[in-house]
């Protein structure tokens, strides 16, 4: 499994440490920080194109490098923003208890560590109903 960002813990770890609602909030804040980075990189990309107008061949080569770097950062940040946003929304759609209709009142049972990585067993804090959330 790939190493995750410490600011974005996996779903099971995030529910254990912070609770579902705080995990969801942190996931959304992180995604929006990536959106801001994509916006800043896009502005830097436009500024790099503006600087491309004049200058010698060496300066144009440096400007080309700045354009490529800014474009790569903008694309990476946009991809990460969309992934984090969609992941948070996908998990939020599964956070309703079918029995008592409580939203986001989740616990990860301690006896459930042997499950598959994609399925996160959770139970409702209010009524104790258990189900699996698919962490895709």
- pLDDT tens, position by position, for the chain (136 residues)? 344 666 677 788 888 888 899 999 999 999 999 999 999 999 999 998 888 787 788 888 998 999 999 999 999 999 999 999 999 999 999 898 889 888 888 888 876 554 556 788 888 888 888 888 887 6
Is the separation of the CB atoms in 128 and 115 below 8 Å?
no
Supply the DSSP string of 1-69, one letter for each residue: -PPPPTTS--HHHHHHHH-HHHHHHHHHHHHHHHHHHHHHHHHHHHHHHHHTSSS-HHHHHHHHHHHHH
Question: Whole-angstrom Cα distance, residue 22 to residue 8?
Answer: 11
């Amino acid at each position: 499994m790939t190493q995750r960002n410490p600011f974005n813990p996996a779903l099971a770890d995030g529910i254990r440490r912070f609770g579902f609602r705080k995990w969801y909030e942190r996931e959304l804040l992180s995604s929006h920080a990536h959106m801001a980075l994509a916006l800043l990189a896009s502005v830097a990309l436009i500024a790099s194109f503006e600087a491309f107008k004049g200058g010698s061949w060496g300066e144009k080569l440096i400007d080309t490098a700045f354009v490529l770097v800014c474009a790569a950062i903008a694309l990476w940040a946009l991809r990460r923003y969309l992934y984090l946003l969609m992941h948070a929304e996908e998990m939020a759609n599964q956070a309703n208890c079918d029995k008592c209709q409580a939203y986001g009142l989740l616990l990860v049972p301690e006896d459930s560590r042997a499950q598959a990585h994609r399925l996160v067993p959770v139970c409702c804090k209010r009524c104790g109903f258990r189900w699996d959330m698919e962490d895709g």
